[in-house]
Structure 1
Amino acid sequence: MTQIRALDLSGVFELVPVRREDPRGYFCEVFNARDFARTGHTIDFVQDNQSLSLAAGTVRGLHLQAPPHAQAKLVRVLRGAIFDVAVDLRPGSATYGRWTGLELSADIGNQLFIPAGFAHGFMTLTAEAEVHYKTSAFYDRESEMALRWDDPDLGIAWPKAFAPVLSDKDAAAPFFRDFVSPF
């Protein structure tokens, strides 16, 4: 049975599938709807995405989609390790504007569930980090939004050991103080 741990923002969970190991390696259920329902969410995931980041320190995010295309995400690492972050963008939430994060790694096999209403981003901790995530809504370019990954108002404690590698889009993302939440 998958181990589930609530993080400090309502609705965000770490999931750790149990690995059954033997001399050949291991087997685990990466996703089980019955186990996942223990988070209090029932979601039909409709799209799987995968990225490969070649350099340690690569930053992807902070990304989100506005309603009606808002996405919940279930994120895991297939190779390497990342520092994964969720930022609460739900104006009525007691934790609006706060973030939580944790290390996800292929070695551990842990996952992060991020509900709709959050921005998501990560920094790779290893070279050749491969990330896979499920989404609850299809990608919609018109609904796509982003926030600055290094916004001082958010104060995310990113790992300092790396020089960030960014896309032009992420480097030009707006600051939280200029963000109007669509949630």
Structure 2
Amino acid sequence: MKVINTKIADVKIIEPSVFGDERGFFMETWNQKNFELLVSGKPTLFVQDNHSKSKKGILRGLHYQTKSTQGKLVRVIVGEVFDVAIDMREKSATFGQWVGVYLSANNKRQLWVPEGFAHGFYVTSDEAEFVYKCTDFYDPDSEISILWDDPSINIKWPLIGDPILSKKDENAIYLSDAPKLSL
């Protein structure tokens, strides 16, 4: 496993060791000891796994929870997405900054999005299946959606036309109006 730093120190790209031949491939997608030692730097317990499927042009996010904050270890098993994490930690030197990375079934990369970050992705392939592990349970009553095109964040999405959004994401709020996290 190779860990790649991003411009926000706590967000990490993980490239697994992949062993392949004409029959296919094998890779380890999760190892508690290595994750804590090389990625999170602390004991990390995942309590929920999620799996979503989306079509090209769908943008999901940018979501975070004010209570039961979730760290997420995300990856794509079919297709490709442009994945984004935004620092929502009020006292962080990188508050309001974002990291974006392509995750795909081909590159097999994972992204560690720690507690205190809003998260979202845009599907660049015909379809994508996205799986992720969460460090806390989903709490719909404390979920916040940040506008995907908030000019104060200025995310460089690789859009082709207007993205397809859920009602929740159409009604998202600006970063300036969003509750900050005191993590």
TM-score higher than 0.5: yes
Q: Which residue of 2 aligns with 1:141?
A: 140
Alpha-carbon distance in structure 2 between the residues aligned to 1:118 and 1:64: 6
Q: Which residue of 1 aligns with 2:34?
A: 35
Q: Which moved more, 1:99-108 or 1:162-171?
A: 162-171
Q: Which residue of 1 aligns with 2:57?
A: 57
Residue 44 (str. 1) matches residue 34 (str. 2):
no
1:53-81 deviations in whole A, cap 9, x for unaligned? 02x111000001113x0000000001000
Q: What's the TM-score once normalised by structure 1's chain length?
A: 0.95
Alpha-carbon distance in structure 2 between the residues aligned to 1:30 and 1:162: 34
Tell me the SS of whatever aligns to 1:142. Answer: helix
In the TM superposition, residue 171 of structure 1 has moved relative to its aligned partner by 0.9
Residue 95 (str. 1) matches residue 94 (str. 2):
yes
1:91-125 deviations in whole A, cap 9, x for unaligned? 11110010011000001100000000000000001
Q: Which residue of 2 aligns with 1:106?
A: 105
Q: Which residue of 2 aligns with 1:122?
A: 121
Residue 73 (str. 1) matches residue 72 (str. 2):
yes
Tell me the SS of whatever aligns to 1:181. Answer: coil
Alpha-carbon distance in structure 2 between the residues aligned to 1:78 and 1:162: 25
In the TM superposition, residue 160 of structure 1 has moved relative to its aligned partner by 2.8
Consecutive unaligned residues of structure 2, counting only runs of 5 or more, are: none
Paired AA for residue 65 in structure 1: Q
State the number of aligned residues. Answer: 180
Alpha-carbon distance in structure 1 between the residues aligned to 2:121 and 2:172: 15
Q: What's the TM-score once normalised by structure 2's chain length?
A: 0.95
Q: Which residue of 2 aligns with 1:131?
A: 130
Task: Spell out structure 1 runs of 4+ moving beyond 6 A.
Answer: none
Alpha-carbon distance in structure 2 between the residues aligned to 1:81 and 1:41: 30
Alpha-carbon distance in structure 2 between the residues aligned to 1:169 and 1:144: 10
Tell me the SS of whatever aligns to 1:170. Answer: helix
In the TM superposition, residue 34 of structure 1 has moved relative to its aligned partner by 2.0
In the TM superposition, residue 6 of structure 1 has moved relative to its aligned partner by 1.3
